[in-house]
A and B are shown apart, each in its own frame.
Chain A
């Protein structure tokens, strides 16, 4: 696609429910990243996929968070048993490779846990 597409754009969920956030990167981009941005804060790295390599999961805050990337394209970030502190904007980005390219970001998914 022309840009990085994320869905849904907004998600309100009840505490304790599971949510899935989707990211469709730019076609041909081998690297895909998930970040979290809390209100008025910077970007917190979550996870990084590069080609067929094992993902870098070093930023996932707890075992309630997981992500997968199918067929080297679409990625899904899953948050289980959501908590209020999970409320944030979840940003996906992609780049042509993993070697220091600038990222193209999606518009994000605003997650609100009530």
Chain B
């Protein structure tokens, strides 16, 4: 069965600090996708990134970067030089072929960035 664990419930940082959000997943499938979503205080979930199980290359998009490591079943998300606008709940998610590719979400990590 697929499972996503986000052990950090809440993180608080001061603006301009770097912060890493951890995500550990479980799957017995060899074909799967990993995702990160952002839910700002306004409430609407926004898709950030998708990686497939055959591509372990890390990705950088501006201040955001993602580190996918199959050896540790982790898909961590780093925000560099955090800003107040990064304050949100961040969800890691997994969809696997065996589950019909429906997406299961972690419990989320609430990030507070203080000015």
Contacts and interface: CB of A to CB of B under 8 A. Distances in A.
Interface of A: 33, 35, 41-43, 45, 48, 50, 56, 89, 91, 93, 98-108
A56 B102 contact: yes
Contacts, number: 52
Interface in B12-68: 32-33, 35, 37, 43-47, 49-50, 52
B105 A100 contact: no
A42 B23 CA distance: 14
A33 B93 CA distance: 14
Closest 10 pairs between A and B when the two form their complex, measured CB to CB: A100-B33, A102-B47, A105-B45, A43-B105, A42-B107, A48-B102, A102-B50, A98-B101, A42-B108, A42-B105
- Interface residues of B toward A: which range? 20 to 34
Contacts of B50: 100-102
B68 to A, nearest CB: 14
B4 to A, nearest CB: 9
A72 to B, nearest CB: 17
B105 A33 contact: no
B43 A108 contact: yes
- Chain B CB within 10 Å — which of A41, A42, A100, A101 has the most? A100
Contact of A98 (B43, B100, B106): B100
B52 A100 contact: yes
B82 interface: no
Interface in B75-115: 91, 95, 100-108
Given A99-B101, A100-B95, A105-B46, 19 more contacts: A42-B105, A42-B106, A42-B108, A45-B105, A98-B100, A100-B33, A100-B101, A101-B50, A102-B35, A102-B47, A102-B49, A102-B50, A103-B45, A104-B47, A105-B44, A105-B45, A105-B47, A107-B43, A107-B44
